[in-house]
Amino acid sequence: MTTTSKRIPLIVTAAVASLLAAGLLAVGGVALLGDAQKDANGYFSTGTERFATDTHALATENLDIDLDGAESILSDGALGTVRLEVSPQNGEPVFVGIARTSQVSAYLGDVAHTSVTDIDYSPFRADYSRQHGERRPAPPAQERIWAESAQGAGSQTLTWDVDDGDWSAVVMNADGSSGVQADISAGAKVPLVAKIGWGAVAAGTILLIAAGGMLVVRSRLA
């Protein structure tokens, strides 16, 4: 093989390695920049916004979390933690809970309630879908369906370790009465963000050094 034919593969490989390094460094930079936006408790949080309905409950649509069997090898909290901070604005004690979507659907069956279908934050706008019903629900805290819940007068905070399955969050008056009005902030703690960021930066740096080494070898073959 001639010197020229040896140089060409090195140049191509160095170029590819440089592109991969740039991509990894960019991903790592974005992840670390995002990680720096956490609050004092390690959560990425939305602003606090007003949600309201004249029905008995505010509920999210189905949150589908599919781990494809990996949940058996993951420790609690490995996928992160969700935090909901809810402050009632109607003078009533408030309830906030997370449960399997099928159980929420059964609990709110034939109960007038409102689903939050979409949220925009710039500017804030919430889209709702109203479900009609005639039955008044039992007070939510009496139900044994909740993976996590909190209730009481004043601001309430719920934290939940993300788990496999279909889930819905629900905000209600603690007595199940209609007319729910609350300021709500959502947050998420994602423990892998910093690890992904530093891992990508490290891998990008190694590739960049390798690309530089290839170019040094190429120059010696010139």
SS (H, E, C) the chain: CCHHHHHHHHHHHHHHHHHHHHHHHHHHHHHHHHHCCCCCCCCEECCCEEEEECCCEEEECCEEECCCCHHHHCCCCCCCEEEEEEEECCCCCEEEEEEEHHHHHHHCCCCCEEEEEEEEECCEEEEEEEECCCCCCCCHHHCCCEEEEEEECCCEEEEEECCCEEEEEEEEECCCCCCEEEEEEEEEECCHHHHHHHHHHHHHHHHHHHHHHHHHHHHHHC
Considering the domain architecture, whether residues 75 and 185 belong to the same structural domain is answered as: yes
Domain total of the chain = 2
pLDDT above 90 covers what percent of the chain?
Answer: 41
Considering the domain architecture, whether residues 105 and 10 belong to the same structural domain is answered as: no
Considering the domain architecture, whether residues 156 and 59 belong to the same structural domain is answered as: yes
Considering the domain architecture, whether residues 130 and 101 belong to the same structural domain is answered as: yes
Considering the domain architecture, whether residues 8 and 50 belong to the same structural domain is answered as: no
Q: Is the pTM of this model over 0.75?
A: no
- For the ranges 86-95, 98-107, 194-203, the lowest mean pLDDT is seen at 194-203
- For the ranges 10-14, 107-111, 189-193, the lowest mean pLDDT is seen at 10-14
Considering the domain architecture, whether residues 117 and 20 belong to the same structural domain is answered as: no
pLDDT digits (tens, 9 = 90+) for 52-71: 999 999 999 887 766 554 44
Domain that holds residue 151: 44-191
Say which residue, 126 or 104, is predicted with more confidence: 104
